A and B are shown apart, each in its own frame.
Chain A
Amino acid sequence: MTELINFVTVSLILVGIGIYGLVVKRNAIRMIFAIEIIANAANLNLIAFSRYLGDIQGQIFALFAIAIAAAEVAVGLAIIIIAYRLYKDIDVAAYKFLRG
């Protein structure tokens, strides 16, 4: 039980770091990293619970989640590359055509 709580604590700290990064950082790549940290914290959570319950389902779900997160980040990086071509910058504070 204490082992499980250690894993969950680490995962919640990682979620906190991820949300901090998403809110404070203005560099698009850093924001993607922050989202990845949250996604991997969630996966760590799933694997810890799966191990604790002695049930394989959670680990299978974590594998699916990792594969899908990779596809998601590929699309995100492609969008950021287009942004770099348009603005020569990946600072999201520079993107302000849409306001109101």
Chain B
Amino acid sequence: MIDISSTPIIIIILLGSVGLAIPIIDAYKKEKGKNKNKLFSAITFGTLMLALLIVISRVIGGELLPAMSFGKDVLADDMFGSFFAVSLLIVSIMVSASSWNYMKGISNSASYYSLILLSTIGMILIAYSTDFVMLFIAWELMSIPTYALAAFSKKDPISNEAAIKYFMFGAFSSSILVLAIGFVYAVTGTTNIGDSITILAELSAPNQTADHNLGGVIPISYLAIGLFIAGFGFKMGLVPFHMWLPDAYEGAPTTIGALLAAGTKKAGFAAAIRVIVLGMFAIGLDWSIVLAILAVITMTVGNFGALIQKSVPRMMAYSSVAQAGYMMIGLALAPYASSALDGSLFHILNHAVMKSASFLAIAAVAIALASYSLEKYTGLGRKMPITAIALSISLLALAGVPPLNGFWSKLVLFQSAIDSGTVISWGPYLAIAGLLNSALSLGYYLWIIKKMYLDESGDMSRVKEPKAIICVLVFAIIFMVGFGIWHAPLLEFASISVPSHIDQIAPSFGNITNN
């Protein structure tokens, strides 16, 4: 049995009870008839803040298990899960605080905040889970509320279309996941992730081939890994599986776009690091080239797609496809360079803040000017100065311009790619592809900034900026600039959240990595 006082259980109890209480409060206070959006926004914000404080105090207290522990339980209270819990709670806090303004006029505010809280539990549990059953349930707990949230503007055909596309691909990907888990279960006879990895490593170790009849087993586990890449890839936005993503991020309400781009995508990466990276390297290291090719294709397609967009949220959606490509560099190089996974996690935390800041700035513009089109951003530097500066800083951070946090995480990723050149010949090419893509991405990021500051439009009078979103954006600016100047604590947090060497997860890895 898992300890009742462990971090994931506390998060479930805290967020779950508040998430279920909000609709009940709504039902009891119905007769007053006024909009309770502000009340629920404040409750959600307070609950998520409390959860974040609990996780951070646990991390500082040092009572957690070391990075990526695999126990017999379904949940492990380890550093890896806590790292993702911190990044995902920051995203949820930013989204729920911004909804104070963005969701002002909606009718069902209680279910909106309740669904955000439930989806947050799912995202966090994915990072903590050490059993396929738990992983799948957490995956669905994350996905199902976001389908409803994407369709939240019931009168808006665009929101509905986005939700249908998101639902079809999301439901398909979860069916693919069940299939993949079934094949792993067939090979290993267990649903525990740690045990399955150890058994897979033993089965594929070369000296044991004589003992087992492995004719049918290894192809099945290859098939399972391929299905896992597809299943997680839909949520992560890897390129062959990304076609729903720009539509869903653009069409969903923009605050929910932030939750999808910064939250569910990160949870997909948490699952992928737990399952694919470790599982596939247990079977054979040849797999890493597949991830490397996916990384390069993902960042290239994402950046070229973003170049031709006219709608800013759609541009940001393609940019988040490209950013997924940078994070994949770390996953592909995990067995060859010790700092590769550190770089990935560091970039995941940075991207969570940068991407939600840019989406929420877009939401602020949408409230004030009622438009998502790039043409309306002309002269925004004078009309909405704080929003414009926050959007500019988050775009520059996404591009990786030096004094900002995005630069340091890209530096760690590309450095690890260059370091891996001594072990694997194609490693440095990933750094070259990443650098070229960063230069390409500046093309559209600077285009938006030029529109906002250099172009003149007729009416340059100041527009009222929504206050709650401004507070969130100021926090994001402090985060991006502050951790850009002093990045050491975040990098250290990332590096203690992943195993420093892949041998530490399963002893049998030693044989494979040495061969």
Contact = CB atoms under 8 A, between A and B. Distances in A.
Q: How big is the B interface, by class?
A: 35 or more
B172 A82 contact: no
B179 A42 contact: yes
Interface string A45-89: 110011011010110110011001101110110111011001100
B164 A49 contact: no
B320 to A, nearest CB: 16
Given A35-B172, A72-B174, A49 B157 contact: no
B162 interface: yes
Nearest to B189: A53
A98 interface: yes
A18 to B, nearest CB: 8
Contact of A98 (B137, B161, B179, B191): B161
Contacts of B154: 82
B436 to A, nearest CB: 24
Contact of B185 (A35, A57, A95): A57
Interface string B224-254: 0000000000000000000000110011000
A45 B133 contact: no
B136 interface: yes
Specify the main secondary structure of chain B where it touches its partner.
helix
A59 B407 CA distance: 48
Contacts of A75: 144, 147-148, 167
A10 interface: no
B161 A97 contact: yes
Specify the main secondary structure of chain A where it touches its partner.
helix
Contacts of B176: 38
B442 interface: no
A29 B93 CA distance: 36
A92 B160 CA distance: 11
B435 interface: no
Contacts of B186: 45, 49, 52-53
B43 interface: no
A80 B166 CA distance: 12
Contacts of B164: 28, 79-80, 83, 92, 95
Contacts of A31: 168
A17 interface: no
Contacts of A76: 147, 167, 171
Contact of A58 (B155, B185, B250): B185
B178 A43 contact: yes
A61 B179 contact: no
* Residue among A18, A43, A79, A96 with max Cβ neighbours from chain B (10 Å): A79
A95 B161 contact: yes
A72 B167 CA distance: 9
Interface in B139-170: 140, 143-144, 147-148, 151, 154-155, 157-158, 160-165, 167-168
A78 B160 CA distance: 11
Interface in B187-232: 189-191
A95 B314 CA distance: 17
Contacts of B84: none
B443 interface: no
B182 A86 contact: no
Nearest to B161: A95
Interface string A1-45: 000000000000001001000100000100110010011011101
B445 to A, nearest CB: 19
A43 to B, nearest CB: 7
Contact of A71 (B140, B167, B246, B310): B140
A97 B158 contact: yes
B144 A39 contact: no
Nearest to B309: A100
B140 A68 contact: yes
Contact of B160 (A32, A35, A43, A79): A79
Interface of B: 132-133, 136-137, 140, 143-144, 147-148, 151, 154-155, 157-158, 160-165, 167-168, 171-172, 174-176, 178-179, 181-183, 185-186, 189-191, 246-247, 250-251, 308-311, 314
Give the 7 A-B residue pairs with the shortest CB-CB distance, closest first.
A42-B178, A42-B179, A38-B175, A98-B247, A39-B175, A49-B186, A95-B161
13 contacts: A35-B168, A39-B171, A49-B185, A53-B185, A55-B189, A64-B137, A68-B174, A71-B144, A76-B167, A82-B151, A86-B160, A92-B164, A92-B168
Interface of A: 15, 18, 22, 28, 31-32, 35, 38-39, 41-43, 45-46, 49-50, 52-53, 55, 57-58, 60-61, 64-65, 68-69, 71-73, 75-76, 78-80, 82-83, 86-87, 92, 95-98, 100
